[in-house]
Chains A and B, each alone.
Chain A
Amino acid sequence: MLMGDKGKYIGIVMGLTFASLIMTQQPAIFMGLMSRSYSFITDVGLPDIWVMDEKVQFIDDIKSLQDTELYRVRGVSGVEWAMPMYKGMQKARMSDGTFQNCTVIGLDDTTLIGAPAVLIEGKLNDLRRSDSVIVDFDGANEKLAKPPLIEGGKKIPLKVGDTLELNDKRAFVVGIAKVTRTFQSQPTIYTTYSRAKIYAPRERKLLSFVLVKAKAGQNIQELTKRIHANTGLAAYTQQEFMDLTFNYFMKNTGIPINFGISITLGFIVGAAIAGQTFYNFTLENLRQFGVLKAMGTSNWTLLRMILLQAILVGSTGYGMGVGLTALFGYAMRNSILAFKFPWQLLIFSGLGVSFICMFAALISILKVIRLEPAIVFKS
């Protein structure tokens, strides 16, 4: 019956499309954004355990250790290897004289553990050459890119062979790495641990993390406890450190609330539009329902008719909303925007849309059940 009025039908479907779009796309961006909080940890990948100062709350919360802590960790039984990592902020001076804040990562000189897995240009081994650094792809193309040759032209990406200055020291670009975007939108510069000391002369302590690999057969959970007991340092498995970081951002930033608000708004606006149009539609067709009632149609049959319509518009709107979200995600796949679309989200927005439809159907059903069939003779 609903199909009879195309305008109304489109109105309801649009409302539901909007609602399911918001309820899918916003959480997808939210989850994408939140996953960036720990993407550095997943990128480093290899170590089983991250050791750090006990007061560290998340990955970017650096509380440096004495270099001697590295040897104490290496001395804990069950440790296969333990490598130092420096992580800190340094100002890079670019060729045009401007400065750019960068995250500098210092890797163990011999093993280069924690180095980026994918190099777009250059070779990892070149990091062992003097003054060499590897820059992340997004940084090289955006914030560290050189000014255009002509006014208003495109910026020139930083390439292998270019140089930067970090604290007045020359840094020679030997590679461009593909890394997952993090919360921090500054460029990331990889170098060796000992060279990081040169780039960061004013810092007294440089050891940010000790990266640990457990011996084969060693229970990792037990090893974290043992490291903590022997050194007094915090030791987390990779997953624990990711959770620590994720939870920190959940608790201490406005991000969850902001997204919660947009998702709720999408839900309410969608429910209002769809519910209102659906109900209006029922009101306008009350006479038809009355005719069916007079002719002997039971409330139960009318209820099923209304539910069927709700399901029909609901699934159309949901399909379109989810489809638009997927398109959106596809279009944004190479942009700075965070986007993560796990299947759980489909259930989440599906439940949301179902709820809206049930609500819309329910108010209509109540109206129709209370309807007196005698209205059919009213002109």
Chain B
Amino acid sequence: MNIAVRCENLIKTYDTGGQKVTALNSVNLEIRLAELIMLVGPSGCGKTTLISVIAGILDQDAGLCELFGENLLTMKSKDKLRFRASQIGFVFQAFNLLPSLNAAENVSVPLIINGEKRGVAQKKAIDVLERVGLGERWKSFPSQLSGGQQQRVAIARALIHSPRLIVCDEPTSALDHASGHNIMNLLKEVAVDENRALVIVTHDSRIFNFADRMAEMDDGHIVKISEPLRTA
């Protein structure tokens, strides 16, 4: 099976003090293994909501969302936590590293959540930091690293436990053009794998050409899926 994620008629409505906002209005989408898919569209169209449901940190109101054949909505919360811990990697716009941990410790966190010993996790973290070009900086704290470097640490953290799905929300928006470009190159190089799917939410048109496929959203819908000209 080469389908990683299957969404059918996903509906999600936010209720903010009596006012209802429909963020997902019947979304249908298939994400394939080994691909880098970008979710694009204007601000407020529901991109973040969609990847939150896909990553199992937000429950939809209606519709089906299957990850590798599993329906997270009906899963027991304990199993869901374990599933998230082992199958999903996260990369955020604001990096979201833990400020009191050094780079290697930050990268170790997913392994530790999965029950790995600290020492083993640390060793592996330094290996992965090596792969993102920060092997020398494993002792640095987030505050001592540039934005691009912090995002590299975050990518190492998303990779270390070999998850089958990596979700990235605006990974380049907080970075300048060159750093953003480097981050995309890095993701393409180290994160894409035949057993893994990579979903990147972005409205940064400068990086569109890194995508294998692009899903354009508007107003809670997927309006178009395309395969952009590959220049990268």
Interface residues of A, Cβ cutoff 8 Å to B: 1-5, 287-288, 291-298, 301, 372-374, 376-379
Residues of B within 8 A of A295 (CB): 84-85, 88, 90, 109-110, 113
Tell me the nearest residue of chain B to A1, going by C-beta.
Answer: B100
A120: min CB distance to chain B, Å:
59
Cross-chain contact B48 with A296 (CB below 8 angstroms): no
Cross-chain contact B57 with A374 (CB below 8 angstroms): yes
Contact of A298 among B78, B90, B109 (CB under 8 A): B78
9-residue interface stretch from B24-32, B91-99, B132-140: B91-99
B150: min CB distance to chain A, Å:
13
Cross-chain contact B93 with A3 (CB below 8 angstroms): no
The size class of the interface chain B forms with chain A is 20 to 34
The A/B interface has a contact count, at CB < 8 Å, of 69
Tell me the nearest residue of chain A to B154, going by C-beta.
Answer: A291
Cross-chain contact A1 with B82 (CB below 8 angstroms): no
Cross-chain contact A379 with B170 (CB below 8 angstroms): yes
User: Known: A291-B96, A295-B85, A296-B86. Contact between A376 and B113, CB under 8 A?
Assistant: no
User: Known: A295-B85, A379-B94. Contact between A374 and B110, CB under 8 A?
Assistant: no
Residues of A within 8 A of B96 (CB): 287-288, 291, 376
Residues of B within 8 A of A287 (CB): 94, 96
A301 to B86 Cα, complex, angstroms: 16
B106: min CB distance to chain A, Å:
10
Binding site secondary structure of chain A: helix
Residues of B within 8 A of A298 (CB): 78, 81
Residues of B within 8 A of A291 (CB): 90, 92, 96, 98
Residues of A within 8 A of B86 (CB): 296
Interface presence of B51 (CB below 8 A): yes
Residues of A within 8 A of B48 (CB): 377-378
Cross-chain contact B85 with A376 (CB below 8 angstroms): no
User: Known: A288-B98, A374-B58. Contact between A296 and B52, CB under 8 A?
Assistant: no
Cross-chain contact B92 with A376 (CB below 8 angstroms): yes
Residues of B within 8 A of A296 (CB): 81-86, 88, 110, 113-114
CB under 8 Å from chain A, chain B span 65-95: 78, 81-86, 88, 90, 92-94
Cross-chain contact A294 with B90 (CB below 8 angstroms): yes
Cross-chain contact A377 with B52 (CB below 8 angstroms): yes
Interface presence of B197 (CB below 8 A): no
Cross-chain contact A297 with B113 (CB below 8 angstroms): yes
Cross-chain contact A377 with B92 (CB below 8 angstroms): yes
B125: min CB distance to chain A, Å:
14
Residues of B within 8 A of A374 (CB): 52, 57-58
